[in-house]
Amino acid sequence: MKAKIFVVLCISAALSACAGNKSEEQLVNTNQTAQAAYNDAKDVLDSGLYSRAIELLKGMESRYPFGPVARQVQLDLIYAYHQAGDSKQCLASIDRFIRLNPNHPDLDYVYFMRGLTNQKTDDNSFQEFFGVDRADRDLASTRQAFDDFKILTSTFPNSKYAADGQARMQEIKEKLVRHELLIADYYSRRGAHLAAANRAKYVVEFHRDSPQVLQALQVMVSSYDQLGLTKLRDDAKAVLDLNFPQS
């Protein structure tokens, strides 16, 4: 009798251990239909419990990879990763979705989310909260975000996300201009005046519609003056005086 009780207790302990280590797929109720399981996951997502929603959606993705809600599950996973701040997984999910669904009707949304995620990668909420300009950071992800929004606005001009994407492109453009001018200032303070002038010249040539062109021309005038390049200095000053007579 004692032996039987011992066996029962061992089996019970084993079952409890298994229950405590459920896989993502097991998190989905096996008695539910795909639609019912998705509805539950969507409710969790809408409530803002993003980590839990990711678990449920990944479980659905494993259990119903080709079901009627499979694509929507993938789209919701992209959103959940973005909201959870997991940029790496979000971008991986986005790239996978684009690769597997090149003609999906919601592809404009996917490119919009890729732009948002890349833009968010270079953001620092703490710095921005206190008004610290972080344009001096490496902006590789920001440049990628610009390209993502450019794809969105050029490929899907009638998308409901196109106007927002266009506005974000302009915002990114000004950030990139500030980045160039901060580097120009860095070079100027270290006596590398030719490098400073070249950075400012790039802004004038490729971002001429930016309000920061005034500062770029001023850097060019100062840098060329320091180098003794009077012809280039006078040319830059003439452009400065013509376009910004009150400067």
Cα–Cα nearest to 94, from 80, 164, 33: 80
Cα–Cα nearest to 247, from 219, 211, 226, 218: 218
Mean pLDDT of 173-198: 94
Task: Using DSSP, state whether 207 is helix, strand or coil.
Answer: coil
The pTM score is 0.76
Cα–Cα nearest to 212, from 242, 177, 170, 173: 177
Cα–Cα nearest to 82, from 59, 105, 48: 48
Residue 51 lies in a domain: yes
Residue 16 lies in a domain: no
Amino acid at 205: E
Half-sphere exposure at residue 85, Cβ-oriented, CA atoms within 13 angstroms: 5
Amino acid at 49: L
pLDDT over threshold 50, residue 80: yes
Please write the tens of the pLDDT for every residue from 17-49.
Answer: 444 444 444 444 444 688 999 999 999 999 999
Last-in-domain residue among 82, 104, 126: 104
Q: Residue 77 is part of a domain; what is its CATH number? A: 1.25.40.10
**What is the widest separation between alpha-carbon atoms in the chain?**
105
Which range marks the domain in which residue 229 is found? 191-247
Rounded to the nearest 5 percent, the helix, strand and coil shares of the chain are 75, 0, 25
Residue 132 lies in a domain: no
Residue with tokens 């920001």: 142
Residue 245 lies in a domain: yes
pLDDT level of residue 236 (50, 70, 90 thresholds): very high
Q: How far apart are CA 203 and CA 160, in angstroms?
A: 31
Residue 149 lies in a domain: no
pLDDT over threshold 70, residue 131: no
Residue 136 lies in a domain: no
The domain tally of the chain equals 2
Mean pLDDT of 223-241: 96
Pair of tokens at residue 110: 């996917």
Residue 57 lies in a domain: yes
Q: How far apart are CA 39 and CA 37, in angstroms?
A: 5
Residue 181 lies in a domain: no
Last-in-domain residue among 55, 88, 104: 104
